[in-house]
Amino acid sequence: MFIWEAVRAVARHGHQVRVVAMHHPDALNHEIIDGIEIRRPTYWWPVSKEMLRKDVGGLPINWRRYPLARLQMVPFILVHWLAALRCAWGCDVVHAHWTLSAAAAYMGKGIHRRPIVATLQGSDIFQAVKLPLVTPIVRYILRRCDQVTVLSQALKRATAEIGISSDDICIVPNGVDIKNFVPLNQNCRENIILYVGSLIDRKGVNYLIDAFCNVRTQLPDYRLMIIGDGPAAKALKDQSTRLGIADLVDFYGFMPQDDIKFWMQRARLFVLPSVEEGLGVVLLEALACGTPIVASSVGGIVDVVTEDVGCLVPPADVQAFSEAIVQVLRADHWKMMSMRARERAVAYYDWDVIAGKYIAIYSRVVNRC
């Protein structure tokens, strides 16, 4: 979704954009949305057995879980190479999100001869490099791109650690639709502590549930709402039952974007307890809705959550999370934090602002090449 928002924002600036995306069994191979051409080449037959997007949590999760997903990597790269080669003709620059797409774009550079901008989202550095032999491949590909961009300071450091010069890395965060995610009247707020995201181990939701068990002793009128799905869902529900708080923890599964916005606008606090995070688009959505945040001090979260909009705590520290949640919810300046959250979203994360940064990078690499 966040890549689609970036594409739309660049198009709003008057640029023509073509998209090559990963196919999944329910998707069309070709369509045009809002005047933007989208191609999703099939990479496995039968299509119902495509595995690279089978479960939430990103490609590294499916790579580890399904042996068939590993076999599908080679045909996936080949069909994306052909699709990128076809779409690059008539374009000025190829912008690849994630290293895998950058590899497909680079394979065709000798033919299309267009500069390549590679954007790293987090999993391609924080997760993928943990797999055997992946680090030298990632390093080789990124060194041959004309520009590398990352979402955060932490991701820039991690990318530099695998051998990419920090001088060649630009930080461009993801954005948020500030016209869609907007605050409502303060009277609309409910006693809800909200989490939105995948239910996978690295999101740290188990620590949030433990922390909420402590919070409820001081704030008994609050509920914990968990929106999202994933392989850890059953274990997290069992944990709530074991702690005796199942009646206060609501698991809502997957929700469409409009429903997520509804609860972002009504929650009094948003919590992101990740033990690893590239940036976290949900943080930007919370900011835009004027919802203060308590989050782990890891990855790109540190760039987003300042002391005037929320509180950062050490990852996996249940006691620190409990104390921070109570502190923010009881704060006399909660309304000020809410206002500052919205101001921060508008100033730094408006998609039109982010698109302007990308367009400046495109111009720079085209002129350089």
Tell me the pLDDT of the chain (369 aa) as tens digits.
Answer: 788 999 999 999 999 999 999 998 989 999 999 999 999 999 999 999 999 888 776 676 787 788 899 899 899 999 999 999 999 988 999 999 988 899 999 999 999 999 999 999 877 787 766 767 788 889 999 999 999 999 999 999 999 998 999 989 999 999 999 999 999 988 899 999 999 999 999 999 999 999 999 999 999 999 999 999 988 999 999 999 999 999 999 999 999 999 999 999 999 999 999 998 878 899 999 999 999 999 999 989 999 999 999 999 999 999 999 999 999 999 889 999 999 999 999 999 999 999 999 999 999 999 987
How does DSSP classify residue 249?
Answer: E
Residue 336, phi then psi, degrees to nearest 5: -65, -40
* DSSP states of 173-221: ---B-TTTS----GGG--SEEEEES--SGGG-HHHHHHHHHHHHHH-TT
- Does an H or E element contain 242, and which? helix 233-242
Question: Which among 125, 107, 90, 130 has a CA at the least distance from the CA of 279?
Answer: 125
Cβ neighbour number for residue 369 with a 10 Å cutoff: 12
**Are 198 and 230 spatial neighbours (Cβ–Cβ below 8 Å)?**
yes
pLDDT digits (tens, 9 = 90+) for 268-314: 999 999 998 878 899 999 999 999 999 999 989 999 999 999 999 99
pTM reported for the whole predicted model: 0.87
Task: Report how far apart, in Å, the C-alpha atoms of 311 and of each of 214, 289, 326 are.
Answer: 18, 17, 11
Residue 211, phi then psi, degrees to nearest 5: -65, -40
Q: Characterize the bridge pairing of strands 36-39 and 18-20.
A: parallel
Question: Domains in the chain, please, with CATH?
Answer: 2-175+350-368 (3.40.50.2000), 186-348 (3.40.50.2000)
Sign of CA dihedral 83, 89, 91, 95: positive
